[in-house]
Each structure stands twice: as structure tokens, then as C-alpha cells.
Structure 1
Amino acid sequence: MTYVIAQPCVDVKDRACVDECPVDCIYEGKRSLYIHPEECVDCGACEPVCPTEAIFYEDDLPTEWSDYYRANVDFFETLGSPGGAQKTGAMDFDDEMIAQLPPQNQDYLQAHS
């Protein structure tokens, strides 16, 4: 099992979760953050600090965002398991589903800018 980052993170990428992650398994894509399913140790430190409430334990992922589990896994198909997000830095791509979304979470961005 693992944690999953869902729709509320798209185009926000607050990164509070990145600072809390003790194993550096939260990677940055172009429009969203992604949790590496093999590097995550299921500690849950990321979930309570997410200001957009975008992080869910896999079994608790809302039905309307169930595709985000696949997106989090598929993001790492070509990247593999580099052993920490700091080694790679921000990536210039996203999972195809996320890349094709229209702009998201604009109300949150306006309220926090």
C-alpha cells in the first residue's frame, strides 16, 4: 500500500508534503507532485500537512479520483526508482492524464497568492 496524490494538487504543488517526507519519495512533475509507490514507507507524515487535502492512503482514495493511483504509478514507468526526489529535481513532464487536464484549482491559487 502507499499514499496517493490526487486532483487538488494539480497546478498547486504546495510542497509542504515534500518537506515532511522522511524518505524523499515525493517527486515533482510539471503540474503535480507524485508519491513513488515503491519508495514510500507509508508513514503518513505527508497527509496532514497538505493544505489542499490532496493526499490519501490508497484504500481511502475517493472514487472520483481513483485514476490518480494509476497516474502516480505510471509517472515512474520511465523514471524508475532513483532513490530520492532530490537526486532528480523537478521533472518537465506529467502522467498523460494530468498533462491533458485543463487548468485546475484556480480558486485555491487566487486565494493564496
Structure 2
Amino acid sequence: MTYVVTDNCIKCKYTDCVEVCPVDCFYEGENMLVIHPDECIDCGVCVPECPAEAIFPDTDPSATPAWLALNHEFASVWPNITRKKQPPGDADDWNGVPGKFDVHFSSKPGGEE
């Protein structure tokens, strides 16, 4: 099993989860994070830390095979993130907004301060 970051992270990109991850398996895109499924140790400590409630075990219906594949694909090309950062200024406005993937997902890497 692994954990998967899903669409509610898009444009929220809170990094509270990163700070508690014991194996540093989070990777940063321009406007969301992903978890590398081969590095995740299935501890689940990140789940309660996510203000956007965007992290699910891969056995949860919210963690579709498409989200698992997206996490794997982009964890292979985006930079690793190991420290908490400030979320975007409008993150709270985007939290819970449905349908963000089709309009707002960016495949660009993150990491800029």
C-alpha cells in the first residue's frame, strides 16, 4: 500500500504533510505535491496533517488508479521537498473547489521560493 495525493491539493499546496514524513517521499510541482509510491512506507502520518484532506491510502476510492499513476509519474521528475513552506496566499480560497485538475493542474516542477 501507499498513499496518494489527489486533486484537492491543486492550488492549495499546503506542505504540512512534508514536515512529518519520515522518509521524505513528497515531490513538489508548481501547484501541488505528489507522493512517490515506491518510497512511501505506508505510515499514514501525513494524512491528518493535510488541511485540504487531499491524501488517501491507495485502497480508498478517492485514490483512483489515475491518481496513483500521476503521483508516480511526477514524483519521478519533480524535485523532492523536505521542509514545510508557506502555502499560496489564496490556498484557503481553493480548498474544496471541485474539478481543479482539468483547469488548473500544472505539470511544471515546483521548488521556487
What TM-score, normalized to structure 2? 0.66
Gaps of 5+ in 1: 87-99, 105-113
The one-letter code matched in structure 2 to 1:101 is: D
1:8 counterpart SS class: helix
Matches within 5 A, 1:33-44: 33-44=33-44
Task: Report the structure, 1 or 2, having the larger helix content.
Answer: 1
Give the Å deviation of 1:103. Answer: 3.4
Q: CA deviation at 1:66?
A: 4.5
Per-residue deviation, 1:4: 0.1
Q: How many residues align?
A: 87
Contact 1:4-1:61 within 8 A present in 2 as well: no
Q: How does 1:1-113 map to 2 (within 5 A)?
A: 1-62=1-62, 65-78=64-77, 85-86=81-82, 101-103=102-104
Q: Distance in 2 between matches of 1:20 and 1:61?
A: 24
CA contact (8 A) 2:27 2:36 kept: yes
What one-letter code is carried by the residue in structure 1 that aligns with 2:103?
P
Of structures 1 and 2, the one with the larger relative CO (CA 8 A, separation 6+) is 2
CA deviation vs aligned residue, 1:40-94 (integer Å, no higher than 9, x gap): 111100001111100000001427x542111101113446xx8x534xxxxxxxx
Contact 2:34–2:71 at 8 Å: present in 1 too? yes
Identity of aligned residues (%): 43
**RMSD value, Cα:** 2.3
In 2, Cα distance between equivalents of 1:78 and 1:46: 21
Maintained 8 Å contact 1:16/1:50: yes
